[in-house]
Amino acid sequence: SASEENGAGRVYAVAYADGSIRLWAEVGMEGAELVTFNGHRKSATALAWDAAGARLFSGGAEGEIVVWDVIGEVGLFRLKGHRGPVTAIHWLDHPSEGAHPGWLVTTSKDGLIKLWDLQLRHCVQTCVVGRGEVVSCAIREGDGAWWIVTGSGDGECKGWEIQRDE
């Protein structure tokens, strides 16, 4: 699951085994379902928000990523390229605020890490992580770059760097 703060309070996105993603709002001590997105043929396996909380990104067991417009409550487009279940999604902002929708970094059990350009709606870089499935990924922004660490099922941990052009 993933959460995002909006004007109405905290909103939670929860991925389900049936391929759906449901948005829930925190209402006192209870939760209220806001909307259900149906876009994956198999289980939804990974979620991420953009900085504004206006777009949600979901990865599925079929290896596809869906970009959702949370405000309009619709799927915008689908990114295809992984050959295994998506294990992590991270949104990266673009230095020119508002002019570019940013990038996604995704990992999968296919052993790949991919960088997607959301303006082009296309994968712009693919790297083979190792011999095993990629099971985890973490990103931290540093001075002029994003630092990425991946963990694989074969016990390897690797570091990656994406230069941030200002």
Q: How far apart are CA 114 and CA 124, in angstroms?
A: 8
User: In sequence order, which residues have a C-beta less than 8 Å from that of residue 121 and are 6 or more positions away?
Assistant: 77, 79
- pLDDT > 90: what percent of the chain? 71
Question: Can you tell me the mean pLDDT for 59-81?
Answer: 96
State the pLDDT at residue 7. Answer: 52
Give this prediction's pTM.
0.89
pLDDT digits (tens, 9 = 90+) for 98-138: 678 999 999 999 999 999 999 999 999 999 998 889 999 99
User: CA-CA distances (angstroms) from residue 83 to 5, 40, 139?
Assistant: 33, 14, 22
State the pLDDT at residue 163. Answer: 85
Contacts 24+ apart (CB under 8 A), 58-61: 58/13, 58/15, 58/21, 58/89, 59/85, 59/86, 59/87, 59/88, 59/89, 59/106, 59/108, 60/19, 60/85, 60/86, 61/85, 61/86
For the chain, the average pLDDT equals: 90
Tokens of 120: 């082009």
pLDDT digits (tens, 9 = 90+) for 22-48: 999 987 777 889 999 999 999 999 999
Res. 149 pLDDT band, cuts 50 70 90: very high
